[in-house]
Every structure is written in C-alpha cells, then in structure tokens.
Structure 1
C-alpha cells in the first residue's frame, strides 16, 4: 500500500451498513472489519449478543465495536447506552475477539462496566483516546491498548501528548478515525488513512524515537491485538 500502510481496519458503526462494508473490503487482503453499533445514536437497531457473535464469525472480521459510552450529547436516560455497551462486551467474550472502545465524558462508567463485564478476558483498544492518564492507566490494567489519532497533533492537546509520552510502547497504537480529525497540517479537511503517518511522526517526536521505530512498534502491536487481521 501507499504511505507505508500495511493493513487497514474498517470500524463498524451500525448493523445496517455492515453487509455493504463487508462487500467493499472483500477483495482486499489488507483490509479487515469490526462489527458493532456506535453508542451515539439511540435510533440504530439494537444488536443481540447472538447476532454480533454470528456476524463476527466472518473471516474478514477482527473485532467487536465500535462500542462504548458517549455522554457528550446524552446527559440523562443513559441505561440504553450502557446496556448496548454490555451487549458488545458479552459478545466479544463469547467469540473471543477484542473490543474497540469509544469513550467520551464517561470515564467512570466506561471503566466500571468494563470491569463488571470482565472485558479483560478479551482486551481491546481505547480508540481515538482523548481522556486522562489516570483513565489510560485503568484501561492498561484491564489489558487494553491506547490508540492516538490526529488529535495528538492539535495545538491545544498538550494533556493528550503527555499521556502519549507515558503509555508503554508495547500498548500504543495510532489511527486516523477517517474521515474525521485530520492531523495538522490537514486539520479541518477530510481525513484519510495515509495521514496516519503524521500521527506516527508526532508520537515518535514525543518518545524520542524515529518514525521507522514507531511504525514498527505500532504495527507489531496491531497484529498482536488483532491476529485475525494477518
């Protein structure tokens, strides 16, 4: 692939679009998928544990998610979102695939539910991480990886850069979250997978390593977490 990209993981946000996503990636050995329903939209069809497990059995599937909690827009009546999160964790445990976790303004409940549902049995990644070092430590204790997006290049992301400088190198990942959150110098424009190299450059700078070293570290970490993507 161009830009030094070895593999791409297309992350699911709902069940309605999942068949089309599978059809899109089917011809490409270097692209895999996850299956899940994003926490933001209450109107999306609710999955069952059994349905998620069945869909995750597809050979292109490497993970369960995107799932988690997002209290940025939803401030009350949160039970439906928490139950959706629990459903995904239970499915991941049943099919033995890692979780892709979205969390925003929901630190305590995210960690609490991960613990209550024994998510450490399968682990996963805290995707597009924007939270505190304290939360990162709690996630690391549960066996999760911490993934950084283009946000780490933003001028106002000093606290996040501090977190990125502390995460153990064997638990760090990089991503784009395309088409959102394009890194500097493309901020405000549509993001694309190739821009992950700018995230690698920033992480390398923070860790005092070369881009080549960070690229190898994060690639090795990716395949360790998502072995089905090989």
Structure 2
C-alpha cells in the first residue's frame, strides 16, 4: 500500500531533537505507508532552505511558489521560474489568495502575484497548488479567466461546504485535496460535501505541521498522520482502505504526469 501526502512542510516539522529528526519523521511515515511526500514552499527563501535541508531525499517531490502571506513588491517572477524548472519540482505553489485578518497584504497585490505565478505554471506546463481562505469566489474567477484548466492543479486543504463551489472547481479540472480538518468533530458539513467529490479528483494531505487530525488534534502534525485522514475518507466514501489508497495514487500520478513505483 502507498499513501501520498500531497501537501507538507517538512522543513517546519523537523528539528535537532532525535525524535523529530528528518530521518525519524520519514521512517515514521513509512511505517504508516506514507511513502511519498510533496514538500510545498511558501517563499523563495523557504524553497532554497528546504532544498538544502532535504538534500534531494528520495521519494520527496517539491513545489516552488510564493504564498499570499509572503508577497514582495520587488520579487522577480524569473526567480520563481528558474527554480521551478528543476526536474523534481513538480508544481507551482503554494499560491493563491488569503483574505483572512491575519494577512496584511492587500487584495489587489495578492491577485497580481497569483496571476503572475499562474503564467509561470502555464509556461512550464506544471500544475498549481492553490491556497484559498475567505476568497473562494475570487480564486475561482481568476482560475477561470486564466484558462489554467489544461494543466490544472490542487485546491489544497479544501474546506468549503457549499456544493456550488465544489462543482465550479471540478469544472475547472482541479483536484480537491482533503486535510485533517475532515476528522474534526465540527466538520460534519465538510464530510457531507466529500460524498460528492468525484473519486478521480480526490487527493489527501497533512499540511504538516498544521491541522493535525483526530486523534492528534492540537499537536504538531506529521506526514504519518495521513493514515488517519485516508481512513476517515475511505469510511465516508464506503471504499475499502487499500482501494482508496490506489485511487489517490492514480490521481497523483495523473495530475503530475509521473509514475510511482
């Protein structure tokens, strides 16, 4: 059985403590059948740091992009494009819009950077990983206007409970990645929405070190916890666990045009 964590920040999980060393985190993941990880960047500085930290570890893929929290006025898109050309960089992200009170970047600048990075995705023919918080309508409109659907991408940590938004995302040829939120006691509406996601459009993620699933909610998240997310969704969809893991693997392979052994 192979489980794939489609969104993780390994460099933010590991530290000098032996139990949280990179090798221990990866070994722990392997024991829970999490054998591949997509390590997602949030800024160019973060991307450069994680490449050095991970040292091209086997079974780890990368994305390169600037999160809406880290927009910089003088950033050159050529710097993103240059890093994204690397073979083991399989996606552009995480990029998108965040209209929460925690983000100090104005909406206009967020949209501008989002569109610029979508253009890189289209040029390099690599999918995008989309962060959207309190901004789903603008996110969908930008994706639609950009005609990104040929290469598609992921709406990461999907948490919308309105069926119309799910349908619009699916119509754009995007995948829906489900995080540990699905296991929360107050997530009954999200669990209901998951029943309507086409099986060929589902991916799963931990978003480690954030959003730990039950029974580890409140603790630092790890890729090994993907097991509990997969278990929860397979139960919701009434699919045998092994079969669900195969579906997710095939979806990951299709989106990123890679073959996983």
TM-score (norm: length of structure 2): 0.83
Counterpart of 1:110 in structure 2 is 139
Q: Secondary structure at the match of 1:67?
A: strand
Counterpart of 2:38 in structure 1 is 9
Distance 1:113 1:130 in 2: 19
For residues 36-65 of structure 1, the C-alpha deviation after alignment (integer angstroms, 9 at most, x for no partner) is: 0111234x4754333222111112201000
Q: What is the count of residue pairs matched by the alignment? A: 229
Distance 2:257 2:118 in 1: 19
User: How far apart are 1:18 and its partner, in Å?
Assistant: 1.1
Q: Secondary structure at the match of 1:189?
A: coil
1:56 and 2:84 are equivalent in the alignment: yes
CA contact (8 A) 1:67 1:101 kept: yes
- Give the unaligned 5+ runs of structure 1: none
CA contact (8 A) 2:90 2:127 kept: yes
For residues 54-81 of structure 1, the C-alpha deviation after alignment (integer angstroms, 9 at most, x for no partner) is: 1111122010000011111259831000
Counterpart of 1:68 in structure 2 is 96
Task: Say what the alpha-carbon RMSD is for the aligned residues.
Answer: 1.7
- Give the unaligned 5+ runs of structure 2: 1-29
User: How far apart are 1:97 and its partner, in Å?
Assistant: 0.2
Distance 2:189 2:226 in 1: 20
For residues 163-207 of structure 1, the C-alpha deviation after alignment (integer angstroms, 9 at most, x for no partner) is: 111100000011100000000000000000000010001101110
For residues 5-35 of structure 1, the C-alpha deviation after alignment (integer angstroms, 9 at most, x for no partner) is: 1210000000012112112333422001100
TM-score (norm: length of structure 1): 0.94
Q: Secondary structure at the match of 1:196?
A: helix
Q: Secondary structure at the match of 1:62?
A: strand
Counterpart of 1:227 in structure 2 is 257
Work out which structure has the larger RCO, using CA pairs closer than 8 Å and 6 or more positions apart in sequence.
2
